[in-house]
Structure 1
Amino acid sequence: MSASISAVWRIIKSVLAALFGVQSQQQHHQDFKHSSPWPFIIIGGIIIGGLVITLIAITQQATAM
């Protein structure tokens, strides 16, 4: 169980690093050498979706004032 949580946390950190443009080329190659890209795509979609929902909520709060 803790191995899967560790793997998910590693994918989340990798997706966030890539999102902010600070992931090294070596880490990028290491991520995709041993695993499928689908977990990265799914978690990336969730993170981007959360970011979009957060920005919409902030905008709505700011315009409601």
Structure 2
Amino acid sequence: MADFQYEIVEELGVLSTSAKGWTKELNKVSWNGGAPKYDIRDWAPEHEKMGKGVTLNDEEFAALKELMSK
């Protein structure tokens, strides 16, 4: 697996917490030094490990918000 870097730029909120302490979170994350994107995924307690997730740019996140408000 290729190495990659990430930085959680802004922690927006926790959606749920599992029995093992992992949290499903909405954050703004910079991947490999790129512009921060909205990110929904599971994280280990200290953000040292992560699960698969969904990353959205600003336009996609705005469209999601609009869909959810209907």
**Bin of the TM-score, shorter chain as denominator length:** under 0.3
Question: Which has the larger Rg?
Answer: 1
Structure with higher RCO (Cα < 8 A, 6+ apart): 1
Q: Which has the higher helix share?
A: 1
Give TM-score, length-normalised by structure 2.
0.25
Give TM-score, length-normalised by structure 1.
0.26
Q: Which has the higher strand share?
A: 2
